[in-house]
């Protein structure tokens, strides 16, 4: 992958959005990726994602779609990202539904999101899954363990409070920052832990 990056200037990231609750997080992810010079985004939207977006977000779906460089329907198995010969830097599934997690963990590539993840895994590329469910059942935990053992990075959207978030946007941006760290990308809206404040004597 590194040698290929030397031959091309841009970074290519696949973003898969499923129908799990929390689709607004994908909007902030795409905004962050859009702000990175030379980052090319390949967006895959499931039918469920489109439905959940209508239920959960006041932002027009088109506004998120416009943040991507390329957009694909989940049924488009002929898309470039369905082939290992099309080199990318990896994939993020945000949010990742339990059905999608199960498909990725078992290799059952019934749609483009799962197929693209399968391709990244077999090619040794980074795959970050952001599972959205509460509580996790035994089968969910088993599938996350399986996906992790296959090389995926599991990043649950856990709230963080050490950064003193003032808004939901602050919380989402922290999650986005944690995801981007997996690709070696620094995000200016992410506040890392720097240790306890020094106590004055």
| Binding-site residue positions for FMN | 19-21, 46, 97-100, 132
The annotated binding site is made up of 19-21, 46, 97-100, 132, 162, 178
Q: Is 172 left (phi over 0), alpha (psi -120 to 50) or beta?
A: alpha
Neighbours of 147 (CB within 10 A): 23
C-alpha distances in Å from residue 163, one per residue of 33, 182, 183, 197: 22, 20, 22, 12
Q: Is 58 left (phi over 0), alpha (psi -120 to 50) or beta?
A: alpha
Strand 90-96 with 39-45, pairing? unpaired
The annotated binding site for dimethylallyl phosphate is made up of 162, 178
């Amino acid at each position: 992958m590194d040698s290929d990056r030397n031959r091309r200037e841009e970074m290519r990231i696949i973003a898969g959005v499923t129908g799990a609750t929390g689709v607004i997080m994908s909007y902030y992810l795409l905004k962050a990726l859009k702000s990175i010079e030379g980052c090319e985004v390949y967006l895959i939207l499931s039918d469920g994602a489109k439905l959940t977006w209508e239920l959960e977000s006041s932002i027009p779906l088109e506004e998120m779609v416009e943040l991507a460089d390329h957009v694909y329907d989940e049924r488009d198995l002929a898309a470039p990202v369905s082939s290992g010969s099309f080199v990318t830097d990896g994939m993020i599934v945000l949010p990742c539904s339990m059905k999608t997690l199960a498909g990725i963990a078992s290799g059952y590539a019934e749609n483009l999101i799962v197929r693209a993840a399968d391709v990244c895994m077999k090619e040794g590329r980074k795959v970050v899954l952001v599972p959205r469910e509460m509580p996790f059942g035994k089968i969910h935990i088993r599938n996350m363990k399986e996906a992790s053992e296959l090389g995926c990075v599991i990043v649950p959207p856990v709230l963080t409070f050490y950064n003193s978030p003032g808004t939901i946007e602050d919380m989402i941006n922290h999650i986005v920052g944690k995801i981007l760290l997996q690709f070696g990308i620094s995000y200016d809206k992410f506040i890392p832990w720097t240790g306890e404040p020094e106590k004055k004597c």
